[in-house]
Amino acid sequence: MTRKYFGTDGIRGRVGDYPITADFVLKLGWAAGRVLTRDSGSHKRVLIGKDTRVSGYMFESALEAGLISAGVDVDMLGPMPTPAVAYLTRAFRASAGIVISASHNPYHDNGIKFFAADGYKLPDSVELQIEQLLDQPLHTNRSEDLGRARRISDAVGRYVEFCKGTLPAGFGLSGYKIVLDCAHGATYSAAPKVFKELGAKVTTIGAAPDGFNINEGCGSTHMQPLQQAVLQQGADFGIALDGDGDRVLMVDHRGEIVDGDELIYIIAAYRARRQSGCTGVAGTLMTNLGMELALGELGIPFERTAVGDRYVIEALKKNHWHLGGENSGHVLCSDINTTGDGIVGALQVIRALADADVTLHDAKHGMSKFPQQMINVPRVKSIDLATDQQVKRAVLDAEQQLDGRGRVLLRPSGTEPLIRVMVEGEDDQLVDRLVHQIANTVRQRVA
């Protein structure tokens, strides 16, 4: 069955446009509460965290009301990174965790995503059960069977200690000078504490949320302020998180961006040097071919999945691997946390740098990236990219010019009304020309 509301990462859209409305989210809370606590017995408890969007207050209250009406107790965490909610769901032995966030999107968007009791995102089958219940009338429990709500005041501190505990005892960041960009998002409180308490000298930017400035000209989607700050401060490197803290990109001491593929490679190479080794890495269709080749040289198996960290997680589970992610900055260390974790990913990279006694700039050159460009084409109307004849001809022509030394990928965004057009190859100029040619064709077809 096709999911009606759920996309690749929960339910997301513009606030005020259905289904990102207070009435829908209230019923979503009721339906999710019913489905996610069916096997919980008398202990029905769900955690709710959110990022810093102004609409988070409204949706937090709506979810709370819906869950309580279904007889579910609610723990309110306040502004918390998505990976913190995943961790705390397990730590509190809760039935589920819910995050109110639209991740890297602007403030006027919002969304709801869920974690099961094990801290992993919901499988499609459970999302379908929630959607089916949304079509039923909402029945409020009697007063004696309602849930209750409480605020968890020490949630940030618990997550900070978890992050610090992912490093070996005695490992510190003393001597490192870091610039940290929190994207005015959910990590604004936790992230500076982690790196400062580990001993680093930290300059923090993007840590003054006002409900509207999340991801605005900052964070992992706008790297220029961090690049400038690293150079101005003479920092060893910079760390850019996104609005909900499940992505991380970095900047080396020269001000050059180090993307998710390069960060994953650095961690993989470090693990490969250790006795336990690196059993394998899962990436996506967007993963740079250079990373795949570099991992091959280290003897590390690699597998591509559909775009979306949930599919990377599925591949890791299937193969019994522990490392994967996306070039956008999702870094998954499933032996540490059950979802992409920007702070934990950055700490794993720093541990790798310290072990090899190298700079971030030198470490990233272990892999050679193929030139890759992506253009996001706004989509007004939907088309079938696989069957549209004009699009098919444009792709075939590009593939013939690449002559087996590159890739073309077209896919609808799972979180925004966009068609993503990506071309990768050895020749930078050819890649630039082809990606614009295909994007222009797609633009004509979806306008």
Contact between residue 380 and residue 447 where contact means Cβ atoms under 8 Å apart: yes
Going by C-beta distance under 8 Å and a sequence separation of 6 or more, which residues neighbour residue 260?
Answer: 247, 248, 249, 325, 326, 327, 328, 329, 330, 331
Token match 């990462």: residue? 9
Please identify which of the residues 55, 101, 103, 220 carries the catalytic annotation.
Answer: 103
Are residues 258 and 249 in contact, defined by beta-carbon separation less than 8 angstroms?
A: yes
Residue pair 215/104 in contact (Cβ under 8 Å)? The answer is yes
CB contact at 8 A, 424 and 439: no
Helix/strand/coil for 363: helix
CA distances from 216 to 74, 211, 292, 410 (A): 31, 11, 33, 27
Measured distance CA(408)–CA(435) in Å, rounded: 8
CB 383 within 8 A of CB 390: no
Q: What is the per-residue DSSP string for 275-336?
A: TT----EEEETTS-HHHHHHHHHTT--EEEE-SSHHHHHHHHHHHT--EEE-TTS-EEETTT
Between helices 389-402 and 428-446, what is the axis angle to 10°?
A: 180
Task: List the one residue out of 193, 190, 195, 313 whose CA is nearest residue 244.
Answer: 190
CB 266 within 8 A of CB 363: yes
Dihedral of CA atoms 408, 410, 415, 418 in degrees, nearest 10, equals 120
- Three-class SS state of 354: helix
DSSP 3-state of 197: helix
User: What is the 8-class DSSP label of residue 144?
Assistant: G
What phi and psi, each to the nearest 5 degrees, are found at residue 158?
A: -60, -45
- How far apart CA 413 and CA 398 sit, in angstroms, is 21
Any catalytic annotation for residue 95?
Answer: no
Helix axis angle for 56-69 and 22-36, nearest 10°, is 40
Active site residues: 103
